[in-house]
C-alpha cells in the first residue's frame, strides 16, 4: 500500500474505531501487520488473521498475535472481539458476504466492523479513465454492521434477528 493510502487508512481507523481502551480488535487480513502500529497506538489489543503463512510470520516478527486462518472461519469464539477491521483487503476475498457473516459472529454486542477499501477507479495512475478527472487520493470507507444489537449505521434499519448475508449485516 502506498504511503498516501497508508496515512489515509490510519486516519480513518482513528476516526472510525477511536480509542480501544485495551479492548480486543481483530485485524482481518492482517498481512504482515502493517496496520498493527496504528491500531495499538489507538490502545487496541490485536489479534490478526490472514490466510498466508508467510505474512503471518512477518506479522509475528512485528510482535502481533496472529494466526493463519480463512476469512470464512476464524479460530475465535462467538462474540469474542470488540471490533474488527479490514484494511485494503476486500479485493483479496473470493466473496464478501461470508467474510462479513464471520466477522458478525465474532463481534461482541455493540462491536464494530470497519472496512477500509480503495475504489477500483483509484487504481488508475493519474486519472479516472471515464471522466479524465484526477484519481482519488484516499481510500473509500464504511463502518458497517456497527453493532450486533443496534440499528444499522448505514440505513438506520432495525437489526436482523440473526446473521445475514447482506454486506451490511444489520439489514
* Confidence category of residue 4, pLDDT binned at 50, 70, 90: confident
Share of the chain above pLDDT 90, in %: 53
| Contact yes or no for 62/87 (Cβ under 8 A) | no
Q: Residue 11 is part of which domain span?
A: 3-120+137-144
* Confidence category of residue 119, pLDDT binned at 50, 70, 90: low
Q: Which strand (E) or helix (H) includes residue 104?
A: helix 96-106
Does 151 reside within a domain?
Answer: no
| Bridging pattern class, strands 107-117 and 81-87 | parallel
Average pLDDT, rounded, for the chain: 76
* Confidence category of residue 82, pLDDT binned at 50, 70, 90: very high
pLDDT at residue 34 is higher than 70? yes
Does 75 reside within a domain?
Answer: yes
Does 20 reside within a domain?
Answer: yes
Q: Is 61 exposed, middle or buried (0-12, 13-18, 19+ CB in 10 A)?
A: exposed
Does 64 reside within a domain?
Answer: yes
Average of per-residue pLDDT across 8-25: 92
Q: What is the pLDDT of residues 128-163, one digit of tens each?
A: 333 333 334 444 444 433 344 443 333 333 444 433
Share of the chain above pLDDT 70, in %: 68
Does 158 reside within a domain?
Answer: no
pLDDT of 3 reads 75
Does 164 reside within a domain?
Answer: no
pLDDT of 112 reads 94
* Residue labelled with grid coordinates 461470508: 98
Does 171 reside within a domain?
Answer: no
Average of per-residue pLDDT across 15-21: 94
Does 162 reside within a domain?
Answer: no
pTM metric for this prediction: 0.70
- Residue 97 phi/psi, 5-degree rounding, is -55, -45
Query: The CATH number of the domain where 67 resides is what?
Result: 3.40.50.150
If one counts the domains in the chain, the total is: 1
pLDDT at residue 107 is higher than 70? yes
* Confidence category of residue 94, pLDDT binned at 50, 70, 90: confident
Amino acid at each position: 500500500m502506498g504511503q498516501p493510502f497508508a496515512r489515509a487508512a490510519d486516519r480513518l481507523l482513528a476516526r472510525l474505531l477511536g480509542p480501544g481502551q485495551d479492548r480486543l480488535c481483530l485485524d482481518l487480513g492482517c498481512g504482515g501487520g502493517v496496520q498493527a502500529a496504528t491500531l495499538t497506538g489507538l490502545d487496541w489489543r490485536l489479534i490478526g488473521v490472514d490466510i498466508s503463512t508467510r505474512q503471518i510470520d512477518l506479522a509475528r516478527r512485528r510482535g502481533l498475535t496472529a494466526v493463519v486462518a480463512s476469512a470464512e472461519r476464524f479460530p475465535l469464539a462467538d462474540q469474542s472481539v470488540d471490533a474488527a477491521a479490514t484494511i485494503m483487503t476486500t479485493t483479496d476475498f473470493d466473496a464478501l458476504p461470508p467474510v462479513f457473516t464471520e466477522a458478525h459472529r465474532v463481534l461482541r454486542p455493540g462491536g464494530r466492523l470497519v472496512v477500509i477499501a480503495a475504489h477500483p477507479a483509484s487504481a488508475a495512475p493519474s486519472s479516472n479513465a471515464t471522466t479524465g478527472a484526477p484519481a482519488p487520493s484516499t481510500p473509500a470507507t464504511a463502518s458497517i454492521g456497527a453493532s450486533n444489537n443496534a440499528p444499522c449505521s448505514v440505513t438506520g434499519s432495525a437489526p436482523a434477528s440473526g446473521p445475514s448475508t447482506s454486506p451490511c449485516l444489520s439489514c
